Structure 1
């Protein structure tokens, strides 16, 4: 759930090597020659930036094509990345959370123009923060002006070190503590008092989705995780997708997630980690994630009015790597050469994992990828990100 904008490029560590060899390339079990060859080439290109392991899938009504490269772990260089590996999708979780809120809006149980104050009285106050001037639409569109709790937490600097990671990996944080950290600073701005939902200023903040989950729980009377399961995971048959709660473990099969922390000469195995909540905790696979994205854009999860609302965007000026990005309600859009309608995506980053994906506007085609390497503060991470974006773009426009 690390920020998908400037924070990732500004924080990420050194080029990983040694991922070549017998396990670096493996034939995919679901593969049309032309499409599969191109996908394999693009997966290999991500590996060539220094990643340890990569997994990708393209799916449509005609079937799915998969590709992989690299190893399941540096200690087992001859073991390839397992097919259908589990991984933390990070901030791609936000699209799930926004979908829940929009389903409730479609049922008339909440309105996007409802303020935070209406559902969580007194929760957003102090230091100039004001929940009376922040709507649910502001939360989902990242236009609230609230600080990102990850950036302003007193433990933020320590969290991005090997020792800090080891101390925190079994220590879950609560939404209340996350909100307390965010409200300890004045907001970046406060939406207009008369028409807060029309706010156009944009700033990525995980705090927005912490609040969105608390509102969902207030509206439904159920935990956010239960709503995710009952409304999305079970109806779509996502057998390998779940919310881990406070558990830091990943189910098998999976690959080792490596993080190069700033100033470190060696990568740290960050496979064990507390995943957060509605802002970044969902665990899934490339296949399940693609099924979700296609169902969302094809209208299986939202009514037409709510899907249309999800696609109402504002300019996201400081989004990393991809120019022209516009952010909607829990999902973003970017122009892509060869595609008249562009593509919808989000992207997610967790310690040792980068999830990059995209879906066509009609849901006909989706591309998903997981790269099991994160390098904080290293230009090589930018090259990895660009290669992953290129994979998605080519898969959806080819």
Structure 2
């Protein structure tokens, strides 16, 4: 397994070779927890990356949402086999969408058949062009608007027949949490996940909040469309080719409203992500039946290569044939991966304060910690 020297070399390489502003890693094994860092938290001042910095964990929030839903199942308040219609009557309708045919479990495993909103033309104009982002960075969304965004597009396939990564499924799961409990999503994540694990740096960020609480790095993006590109022409195949070049000036996107909510609205730190991921790997957060459900995985398609998806969590293949358990997310301006062996004996949590070159960076850290990089696409 890893040596501290290997990990530090991987972090230094992330800055020198892959151009990330800064990177921080927390490692946990039989020797305890160690923190390593490289690069800067702020490109303007040169402030170094420091332990305890908070960051948005992007789609890592799905694991928190899934854990909350599974806790409600353990409490006898819902079942993963319940239909969406049972809890949100009339919400999943129109354009071929039918909540009577979709289960809560299918929402959480991305097997609901719901369409993918990532290339929505209005979203692309508002958040993936430089002028659009400048004008809309502080827009405050509502749950109703998120659900309407999902319902505006048709499903991709019949529920339970295939995989498609869908943020809207987790927005529906968040709405179900609120319906079942009569409390806010943010309060229920606090009750069911944050407090039981003693996560002192972690919180579910409300829609209207514009700034991070406490110590944090500045975060940067280059994920903007080239000048003159019409969002109407975007497809999954041409999207990356229409983005600005790798040498474009990054934009500081630290202060803004985050609308990921139940699909991507959690803020945490590397230490807290170690504790959370260790708990979901080893089973110390959930009862045995719900823990098994979390790690019952399905093959992915048109997502990350050589992966399987569970209930808010995923399994990634290493080049040497082993599998690691992962809670991961890439958000505008930041990427966060927490990776552990299936027995939870070795876990590493890594954050970069940008959204480019994250795959090779995290693969390099995986090699330093587990002795093998990610298995590359064939």
Give the TM-score normalised by the residue count of structure 1: 0.83
Find the partner of 2:225 among 254, 257, 262: 262
Find the partner of 1:236 among 197, 215, 227: 197
Deviates more, 1:155-164 or 1:223-232: 155-164
1:358 aligns with 2:339: yes
Query: For 1:39 and 1:252, how far apart are their aligned partners in 2?
Result: 27
What is residue 350 of structure 2 aligned with on the other side? Answer: 369
1:291 aligns with 2:259: no
Query: For 1:339 and 1:297, how far apart are their aligned partners in 2?
Result: 19
Q: Is the 8 A contact 1:366 1:396 kept in 2?
A: no
Q: Is the 8 A contact 1:36 1:66 kept in 2?
A: no
Deviates more, 1:128-137 or 1:52-61: 52-61
Give the match's secondary structure for 1:132: coil
Question: Structure 1 residue 337: deviation in Å?
Answer: 4.4
Query: For 1:179 and 1:190, how far apart are their aligned partners in 2?
Result: 19
C-alpha distance 339-62 of structure 1, shift in aligned 2 (>3 A): farther
What is residue 18 of structure 1 aligned with on the other side? Answer: none
Deviation per residue, 1:70-103 (Å, 9 max, x gap):
11222123x2112221110000000000011111
Query: Number of residue pairs matched?
Result: 348
Q: What are the ranges of 5 or more consecutive residues in structure 1 without an aligned counterpart?
A: 1-31, 192-198, 376-380
1:332 aligns with 2:314: yes
Deviation per residue, 1:229-285 (Å, 9 max, x gap):
111111211111112212020133222111113335311100112222110011000
Question: Structure 1 residue 367: deviation in Å?
Answer: 1.0
Question: Structure 1 residue 344: deviation in Å?
Answer: 1.1
Query: For 1:308 and 1:81, how far apart are their aligned partners in 2?
Result: 37
Listed as ranges, the matches of 1:1-398 within 5 Å are 35-47=3-15, 48-77=17-46, 79-152=47-120, 154-191=122-159, 199-245=160-206, 246-260=208-222, 261-263=224-226, 265-276=248-259, 277-320=261-304, 323-337=305-319, 340=322, 342-375=323-356, 381=357, 384-396=358-370
What is residue 238 of structure 2 aligned with on the other side? Answer: none
Query: For 1:392 and 1:144, how far apart are their aligned partners in 2?
Result: 31
Question: Structure 1 residue 319: deviation in Å?
Answer: 2.3
Q: Is the 8 A contact 2:314 2:326 kept in 1?
A: yes
What is residue 13 of structure 1 aligned with on the other side? Answer: none
